[in-house]
Amino acid sequence: MTIDLLVSEVGPRDGLQSIESIMPLAAKKAWISAEAAAGVSEIEVGSFVPAKILPQLADTAEVVAHARTVPGLTVAVLVPNLRGAQDAVAAGAHKITVPLSVSETHSLKNVRRTHAQMLEEVRAIVELIRSQPEGRRPKFEGGLSTAFGCTLEGPIPADKVVELAGRLMDCGCDEVGLSDTTGYANPSQVKDLVRRVRAEVGEEAFAGLHLHNTRGLGLANVVAGLEVGVTTFDSSLGGLGGCPFAPGASGNIVTEDLVFMLESMGLSTGIDLPRLLEVRRIVAEAVPGEELYGFTPDAGLPLGFAPAGRKADAA
């Protein structure tokens, strides 16, 4: 079966870092294995940050070690700096993303670094990766966060996003992605910014979209991304994470709803939706009391639902 679109699960990182409960290591392993078995081929499994900042992700090295044993799975991690990248390389992550907040105010607050300092860090990470033996060099993405708006600065000028995308590539990143960290994006903006960033860095170097559903526009923004040819979307199972300021709103877009939408549209994700829905139970049991989101899991699959692959086989 050919896969049209890559759904990259970020729940074990973005979801778990946004809730208070700490998921036990065994449950993280079970979650990752089950989701990979359902056909998810890329999972961001954690973040290499000091345990005192994010105790929820303190076991990332062990999670990576487990995820690496899952056949065919691309094991991605987030790192805030060179120190984190060293840990990620030592653990054997296949892909590393460093977030660069387009809002410098947000960057200072989040990682206590200016853009110039962050770009220095990115250059040092590139050197680290290039010093590894061939075959052990992780793919390196620069993730432009707050690209669509910032809770501290408000609107973010598109020119600034494009400029920083270019500078990340100049520093030696393999690709750049766009993150709607704050759930500010709208579909017109998505199309415009994707086009402009792709024109700057080249088609091949555009990594994809990382969307949040804070204001309910997550899937509309995915459709906008599809219309301009985006092929990779981040999402989290059960929309884990939520938003403390918007009760009822999921965190990231919900993997189950995203896969349902794409498969219904005839776009193959390689993911077995009924099996994916089963994975929710593992997460629900491991972090009881944390809200899980998603319309498809609540409503169930429509009668006669046929995934994209089966439609193609029948045709």
Q: Which residues of this chain interact with Zn ion, rule CB under 5 A? A: 14
In the complex with Zn ion, which residue's Cβ is closer, 142 or 307? Answer: 142
For residues 82 and 101, what is the distance between their CA atoms, to the nearest angstrom? 16
- Supply φ then ψ for residue 236, to 5 degrees: -130, 140
C-beta separation of 79 from 121 below 8 A:
no
| Cβ distance to Zn ion smaller for residue 60 or 268 | 60
Give least dist CB 253 to Zn ion, A. 10
**Is 142 within 8 Å of 197 (Cβ atoms)?**
no
* Cβ distance to Zn ion smaller for residue 14 or 200: 14
Got the DSSP string for 49-95? --TTT-GGGTTHHHHHHHHTTSTT-EEEEE-SSHHHHHHHHHHT-SE
Min dist CB 236 to Zn ion, Å, is 8
CB-nearer residue toward Zn ion: 181 or 268 = 181
| HSE of 304, CA atoms in CB hemisphere, 13 A | 0
Q: Closest approach of Cβ 308 to Zn ion, in Å?
A: 26
Max CA separation in the chain (angstroms)? 55
CB 77 within 8 A of CB 68: no
What distance lies between CA 171 and its chain's CA centroid? 22
In terms of Cβ atoms closer than 10 Å to its own Cβ (0-12, 13-18, 19+), residue 289 is: exposed
CB of 14 or CB of 104, closer to Zn ion: 14
Give residue number: closest CB to Zn ion. 14
| Tokens read off for 263 | 């498969």
The minimum distance between CB 194 and Zn ion, in angstroms, equals 17
CA distance 235 to 17: 14
- Cβ at position 301, least distance to Zn ion in Å: 27
Q: What are phi and psi of 186, to 5 degrees?
A: -125, 165
Is residue 150 annotated as a catalytic residue, yes or no?
no
- Residue 123 near residue 171 (C-beta atoms within 8 A): yes
Catalytic residue among 150, 171, 173, 243: 243
* Residue closer to Zn ion (CB basis): 14 or 59: 14
Q: Which residues are catalytic?
A: 243
